[in-house]
């Protein structure tokens, strides 16, 4: 077996031990889908002959759902847009940048600028700037739509704007405020509560990157300039928009837009489950910031001898060590990674009564909440971020003060086990994100 094959075999073995056969099978399936998508583009040396494409879309990772909810929703939207208008998409790979063009029935892929992606704390990156400039020139773009700011050298975006590219910023998290997009403080593994303490921030970032005491000041000033310069900044929720208006004072409110991601397709409403909750599921990546450690404590607070009929599940891939810890808990079944878009059917098929969305940091939207509501499964979540905003708007859940932690969650679960009911929520509109962005481009004169 060659080196690549041996490495793939080792990775598969680790996934199998951490997530089980179902998770491994789902990951392999998504890898195959990703490969088929890539092969649908024909390798080309240039985009000659393609009509001008006014907007160049830029992603910070490959557009593959296995990387997370943000990538899944963006890929869905980009593919939808490609059916309505010519689309150019640039993203980094391991040792270079790939430009994908879909226009006039042609699908082309160009390799640009052989260089590794920039560091998450880089403020400027020459290779990144060259790749964007060349991609924009290849397709005749007048604007750069940045699909997420995590891992982007913010100073380079300003330089590209000064060179003549208009900017549209899709803000999916707190990357403009901090290189840690979820604001999980390390090594404490807690929400930093939007810290502006220079020493505290420097100590946190130093766990992974060598930065100076004033690094955050400089980076946040550049981020502020970017938001002021952008033709539009687009957020997935009112919560995230309002928080950025607070974190970066003086922004033009009319340029801060909210476009919600498209939710799960409409389907027949699930029949409400009768009787007490018996199957409780943790939903989300098995990571500290998503609340995996809180879930572990909740399970321990509801022992089998006190609640013999209760069973737990965990849906989502993540940290192998945490997945192993969950597997060792009594009555917990780890389902592991699941394919994007499959959660609604899984929750219904497995007769899940209650979902736990336990992120200890404020979420910017939460596709998992959309899927739980579509499946007719009530949720318990912490009272912060867009999840709390949406539960208050659509119903279908109970909220717990974040500082209460597992000690606040466990009694609510126990009450539902004893028969308390949560009124069903409304999934909300499925939305037309591609159409909303098309209308935004038209308004900005980028059609």
As a whole number of Å, the CA-based R_g of the chain is 22
With cut-offs at 50, 70 and 90, classify the pLDDT of residue 7. Answer: very low
Identify the residue whose tokens are 């208008």: 85
With cut-offs at 50, 70 and 90, classify the pLDDT of residue 22. Answer: low
Fold of 279-417: Rossmann fold (3.40.50)
Length of the chain: 447
Q: Alpha-carbon distance 235 to 254, whole Å?
A: 13
Q: What pLDDT is recorded for position 222?
A: 98
With cut-offs at 50, 70 and 90, classify the pLDDT of residue 5. Answer: low
pLDDT at 6 > cutoff 60: no
| Low-confidence winner among 3-7, 181-185, 383-387 (lowest mean pLDDT) | 3-7
* Angle at 59 (CA atoms; ends 55, 65), nearest 5 degrees: 125
Q: Alpha-carbon distance 98 to 107, whole Å?
A: 13
| Low-confidence winner among 105-114, 241-250, 393-402, 422-431 (lowest mean pLDDT) | 422-431
Q: Where are the beta strands (DSSP E) in 148-265?
A: 166-170, 184-185, 190-191, 232-235, 256-258
Class of domain 41-262+432-443: alpha beta
What is the mean predicted confidence (pLDDT) over 73-102?
88
Contact 365, 236 (CB under 8 A): yes
Domain boundaries, the chain: 41-262+432-443, 279-417
What percent of the chain lies above the pLDDT cut of 90? 67
- Average pLDDT of every residue of the chain: 89
Q: Alpha-carbon distance 428 to 65, whole Å?
A: 22
> 314 exposed, middle or buried (CB, 10 Å; 0-12, 13-18, 19+)?
buried
pLDDT at 11 > cutoff 70: no
| Low-confidence winner among 167-181, 261-275, 304-318, 412-426 (lowest mean pLDDT) | 261-275
| Low-confidence winner among 70-84, 103-117, 373-387, 390-404 (lowest mean pLDDT) | 70-84
Instruction: Identify the residue with better confidence: 113 or 30.
Output: 113
Entry pTM: 0.91
Q: Helix, strand, coil proportions of the chain in percent (round to 5)?
A: 40, 20, 40
* pLDDT tens sequence across 333-350: 999 888 878 899 999 999
Confirm whether 41-262+432-443 and 279-417 share one CATH topology: yes
Contact 184, 160 (CB under 8 A): no
| Low-confidence winner among 119-133, 235-249, 268-282 (lowest mean pLDDT) | 268-282
What is the mean predicted confidence (pLDDT) over 94-108?
91
């Amino acid at each position: 077996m060659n080196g690549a094959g041996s490495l793939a075999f080792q990775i598969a073995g680790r996934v199998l031990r951490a997530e089980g056969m179902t998770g491994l099978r789902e990951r392999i399936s998504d890898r195959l889908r990703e490969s088929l998508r890539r092969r649908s583009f024909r390798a080309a040396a240039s985009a000659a002959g393609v009509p001008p494409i006014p907007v160049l879309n830029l992603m910070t990772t490959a557009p593959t759902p296995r990387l997370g909810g943000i990538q899944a929703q963006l890929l869905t939207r980009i593919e939808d847009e490609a059916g309505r208008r010519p689309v150019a998409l640039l993203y980094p790979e391991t040792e270079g940048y790939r430009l994908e063009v879909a226009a006039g029935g042609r699908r082309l892929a160009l390799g640009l600028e052989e260089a590794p992606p920039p560091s998450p704390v880089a403020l400027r990156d020459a290779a990144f700037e060259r790749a964007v400039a060349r991609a924009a020139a290849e397709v005749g773009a007048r604007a750069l739509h940045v699909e997420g700011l995590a891992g982007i050298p913010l100073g380079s975006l300003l330089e590209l704007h000064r060179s003549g590219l208009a900017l549209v910023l899709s803000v999916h998290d707190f990357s403009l405020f901090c290189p840690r997009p979820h604001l999980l403080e390390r090594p404490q593994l807690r929400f930093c509560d939007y810290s502006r303490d220079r020493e505290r921030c420097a100590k946190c970032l130093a766990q992974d990157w060598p930065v100076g005491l004033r690094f955050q000041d400089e980076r946040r000033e550049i981020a502020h300039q970017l938001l002021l310069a952008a033709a539009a900044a687009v957020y997935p929720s009112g919560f995230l928009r309002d928080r950025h208006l607070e974190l970066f004072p003086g922004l033009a409110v009319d340029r801060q837009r909210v476009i919600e991601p498209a939710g799960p397709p409409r389907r027949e409403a699930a029949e409400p489950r009768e009787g007490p909750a018996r199957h409780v599921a943790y939903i989300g990546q098995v990571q500290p910031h998503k609340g995996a450690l809180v879930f572990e404590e909740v399970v321990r607070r509801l022992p089998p001898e006190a609640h013999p009929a209760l069973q737990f599940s965990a849906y989502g891939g993540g940290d192998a060590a945490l997945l192993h810890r969950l597997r060792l808990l009594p009555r917990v079944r780890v389902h592991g990674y699941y394919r994007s878009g499959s959660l609604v059917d899984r929750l219904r098929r497995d007769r899940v009564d209650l979902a736990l969305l336990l992120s200890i940091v404020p979420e910017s939207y939460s596709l998992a909440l959309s899927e739980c509501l579509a499946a007719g499964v009530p949720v318990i979540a912490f009272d912060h971020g867009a999840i709390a905003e949406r539960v208050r708007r659509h119903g279908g859940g109970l909220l717990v003060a974040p500082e209460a932690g597992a000690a606040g969650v466990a009694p609510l679960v126990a009450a539902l086990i004893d028969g308390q009911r949560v009124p069903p929520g409304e999934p909300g509109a499925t939305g037309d994100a591609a159409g909303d962005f098309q209308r935004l481009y038209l308004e900005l004169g980028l059609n």
